[in-house]
Amino acid sequence: MTTPPSLLIAGHGARDDGAAEALRALVRMLAARHPDVPVAGGFFGTPGTSLPLADAVDELAARGAGHLVAIPLLLAPAGPVAEPLPVALERAVQRHPGLGHTCGAALGPHPRLLDALERRLDQALGDGARTPEYRSRTSVLLVGRGSTDPHANAEVARAARLLWEGRGFANVEIAFVAQAAPDVPAGLDRCRALAAAAPGDGRPGRIVVAPYFLFPDGLFERLCMQAEGWAAAHPGIEVYGAPAIGSEPEVAEVVMARYQQALAGPSRAAAGDARDAHRDGPHDARVAAGAGDR
């Protein structure tokens, strides 16, 4: 039986050991779910990572790979970087003559990833998190990394709208850790102002800070410090912090969907995205409808 093209999972810009272990966990999950597909992963775009992309390419080449399909682990475009994925991949495969490669699409605000993000919010909020009354008094601050590229920042706004649609939260606002406005304190200020202006019984609402991050890293730690500092200065409102999405089954599902779409070619990949948006019936149809509002 012919071995299918190898799957190369390409994380972006993380030196943190926790992020490296999370990527290894995702590789193990995909290898267990799809034993017929050779898979490895590493990070590009940042020197000094403990899990470089070039090492993952070397590993797959040593395992007999003839062609790689690289899937960038990006929730939003990376914006200007010193070495984007196509450049990093081209440099890595040069050491292996005859090794072909294809770059697939980024993960983006896929409905399954929003499901995983919603579960992280519920974990942070605890008891009652899914009741309509509780959610109606809960604001979400979705925090992206931030970029000088407005298109990258716009993807975070798009994800916020899709997360808000039909889930019952009072509102979903956005902020960025660096390089873009509003910053985290300004985003929290807006959530507090909206909660104060909302009709109700006068009881204060709550805010849950949701990192739009797959893995924890240095920027994630900065986000936590910013949110904790704001909460300490505003003791009258409850502030919860959700964890990063992490190596959840939904992430593995979307990575494999992007891999299969890359193999199918551009025209069928677009059709695959449309199927993804509606795959789970009314829930995902609702999310797809929200996409049209942005």
Cα end-to-end span (Å), the chain: 46
Task: Read off the pTM.
Answer: 0.86
List of domains in the chain: 6-106 (3.40.50.1400), 111-241 (3.40.50.1400)
Chain Cα centroid distance, residue 160: 12
Q: From first to last of its 294 residues, what are the pLDDT tens digits of the chain?
A: 578 999 999 998 767 788 889 999 999 999 999 999 999 999 998 777 788 999 999 999 999 999 999 999 999 876 667 678 999 999 999 999 999 999 999 998 999 999 999 999 999 999 778 888 889 999 999 999 998 989 999 999 999 999 999 999 999 999 999 989 999 999 999 999 988 876 665 566 899 999 999 988 888 899 999 999 999 999 989 999 999 999 999 999 999 999 999 999 865 544 445 445 444 433 333 333 333 332
